[in-house]
Structures are given as structure tokens and as C-alpha cells.
Amino acid sequence: MEHARAGGYDAFVAARWSALFRLARLLTGGDPHRAEDLLQESLVKLWFVWSKVADEAPEAYVRKVLVRAAARSARRRWWSERPVDELPEVAAAGDVSVAVAERSRLEAALALLSPQQRAAVVLRYYQDLSDRQVAETLGCPVGTARSHASRGVARLRRLLVDVVEPVG
């Protein structure tokens, strides 16, 4: 029984690790180290309930644990590296640099949202969950989840507006 449990769990983790890591990274404001810690913590919790959720919705369970853990960690002070305004000298970049710069800009803007808004935006628009699924994951009413997502998107728009300086 234990071997079958481990096999199914291992297959799930192998198949979904990348997607879950991207979700965790977005929920932590782009910090890959915190994201990995949160994902590992969530997967440990999944291991203990695997026999109960394996046939139902293990990914939904992990998503809910990730969102809650990210919200808890956002309330605690984080004493690791801090982002800086100016990056060190960058090597010559090709066509990929524009996409990477935009993604980095979006991750930085996501990091400025409240944990609830960030989770709602990421779950709704990045994970493409329905309003009901977002509300279930966040543990709040559907209207509240919609409000978090709407306010988060509005704030992202304000943060991401390009200021065009007049030429002349």
C-alpha cells in the first residue's frame, strides 16, 4: 500500500512540479528561493493526506496550501536578499531579453500587491481558475475573490503604465 501511495505521489510531483513552482514564484512576488520553500512545505503536507486527496483533486489541495502559506509568509518579515533599483551590468541580449524584461517587470509589480490581491490575480488570470475556484482556494466568498482580483488588476495597470516623455 505504501509503495502504491509513493508511486502515485511521485508521479504527481514529477508531472506538476514546474507548474506549481511557477505558481509559488508568482505568489511570493518572484522570489524563487521562497517559492521553492513554500512548494516543498506544501508538498510535504500533500504527502500526509495523499491517500485522501489522490483520487479527488491533489492539485487544488496544493494550490490552497500554497496560497495560505504565501499569505502567512507575507505577514512575516523576510530577512533575505532585497531587490535593488539598478541591476548589475547585463551581458548582450538577443530577442529573448524583451520578454524577460517584461516578465521581470510584471513579477516586480505583482510583488507590490497585497498577498490576497496577488493570489487572486495569479489564480484567476495565470492559473485560469474560475471565480468560484479562486474563492474556494482563498477561503472567501466569490464576491470578495472578484474584488481582490479586480483591485489587483487595477493596481497592476497603474504600476505598469509606461511614462512617455515628450520629445523636444
Span 26-69, pLDDT tens digits: 888 888 888 898 999 999 999 999 989 988 889 999 999 998 88
pLDDT at position 121 is 93
Closest of 91, 5, 79 to residue 47, by C-alpha: 5
Q: Give CB contacts under 8 A, 24+ apart, made by 120-128.
A: 120/145, 120/148, 120/149, 120/152, 121/148, 121/149, 121/152, 121/153, 121/156, 122/23, 122/26, 122/27, 123/63, 123/67, 124/149, 125/149, 125/153, 126/22, 126/23, 126/26, 127/23, 127/63
Three-state DSSP at 166 gives coil
Q: What is the pTM of this model?
A: 0.59
Domains and CATH numbers, the chain: 1-76 (no CATH), 98-163 (1.10.10.10)
- What 3-state class would DSSP assign to 76? coil
Residues in the chain, pLDDT under 70 = 1-6, 74-85, 87-95, 162-168
Other Cβ atoms within 10 Å of 114 Cβ, number: 14
Q: Among 60, 57, 80, 77, which Cα is nearest to 68's?
A: 60
d(CA 143, CA 57): 24
DSSP code at position 114:
-
